[in-house]
Structure 1
Amino acid sequence: MVAAVLCRAGRALLVHRSPSRGWYPDVWDLPGGHVEPGEDPQRALERELTEELGITASVAGEPFARLRGDDFVMDVWVLDQWRGEAANQDVEEHDALAWLTADEMTALRLADARLPELVRAALQQSSPSPQARPSHRPRGASCGRLHHIELWVPDIDRATRSWGWLLSELGYEPFQQWAGGRSWRLPPTYIVLEQSPALLPGGHERTRAGLNHLAFHAGTREHVDALVVAAPAHGWTLLFPERHPYAGGPQHYAAYLSDTDGYEIELVADDS
């Protein structure tokens, strides 16, 4: 199972399970639910939050906590950013929502008696003391992370063949598609390719001022090597072959590739 502590202004959201519900009825609990077979826990929680509350969230990284019971194991993530206003979308399962402090939860009939302490710790993590946070720094657990990268390409179909293969090999999943563009997502970041009608002539040149290359964590050295072998069939050329795989230095195991349109990527092994 998966669940979320949604944090807002020192309070967390609880849902009340309907008294007619078969499993854990008439109790307050965190929003969340079951992980479907073959589903990633993070994607399962994103799905559950949309189905239950009508909000869109990006769930990434390791869970904040794991709760074990006689008949369940539940991983819990802490979120303080999402899109949309939480509202009860699953009226058959829930009959109320409430934003509560950890102290207010102690007076309720809860699905798990550990929830107040879990929520208290989550709220402290989400909202550190004012003395600990510079006054100019925006709040939010995602602050400073890269939201997305957008590359304008001269041929979207050609770029999709190269980048679609590579991003899939790195764990990205198709995210958006429209007439002139595609995107792939590995939360919390997504990468966009677009053949924009506003694109100026001249093509991309990585040695000019501007973007030189994108660098990705690429797993083990063996995975980097496998990507290098497969890359030419998908439109990528190995750069600096005479110095590969140490073109970045004697302690830096990585592959540098360029696609047909001159975009460069760096695939970095985990131990580099």
Structure 2
Amino acid sequence: MPNRPPKPQIRPNFTNSAPPEVVDPRWILQALGVVIAFAILCAYLTVCGLFSYGQWQLVLQPSRAITQTPKDLNLAFTEVHFGVDASGQPQLDGWWIPGDVPSYPTVIMLHSGQGSMSDALPEARTLHDAQLNVLLFDYRGFGRSGGKHPTEVLMEGDAESALSYVTGLRGIPNSSVIAYGSGAGASLAAKLCTDHKEIAALILQNPDGDFETRVRQDSRSRMVPISLLFHERFPLADRLRSLATPKLLISSTTGPIPANLSSAANPKLTVELAPGQDQAALHGSLRRFLDTYVPQKP
């Protein structure tokens, strides 16, 4: 075959190629805005989550310290354990302080959301001196009781466990039980009486509750939707307005009677004690209330 001349090579013409694509800077700004908005949303949701988990710390300040026992006040007592959970172990630690006459009424003490039951011993002494049996105990998250930290729901359950202990293991009828509450414990005592109409009486000393308004004023909670996230409310005023249980309402103030007490339903005995007033006045009011509403069986 005859030799054919080689085909000429065709070289690309770079002068006619399309220019490279240029990213629109507006798209970059939009993408950056989306990333920043997503990061802000994640940060906000994290703040909301942390608030929801730790909100109990805004209204409760538990302590694990037991600084004194009834023995330090020359009171006979027995340490008791109750409130068995799913593990079969009792979670609540308390003191049974018997009165001089076992058949007299029994007080379930629901102490405030600060400290531990050892801080409530002076009030326990006053109740004992009024010839009452006393059960003083710590909620979960307080003192020697189990649990990591308290919440309103857990504390309400602990109050129910205390009533079950008194009526079950101690064999004391609801009609011989008095619910006592101070601080945040007032809400728990009022709920106990609301749920168990047979309870003989309710005693509240310097009660506290209805915490949502107070929390709204806290700078730590102004960034989150309180109405959706806050649930440690400890309602009190509404419960007292509709509760027919006889009530002794004690406040230590030089001002007007707190609104949640003045609006409480009858029957009630309202007592105002000046701060630092001696125990004689308190004991006299307590004695008058018991003689009127809680007759003591010999």
TM bin (shorter chain): under 0.3
> Which structure would you say has the larger Rg?
2
In terms of fraction of residues, the more strand-rich structure is 1
Q: Higher helix share goes to which structure?
A: 2
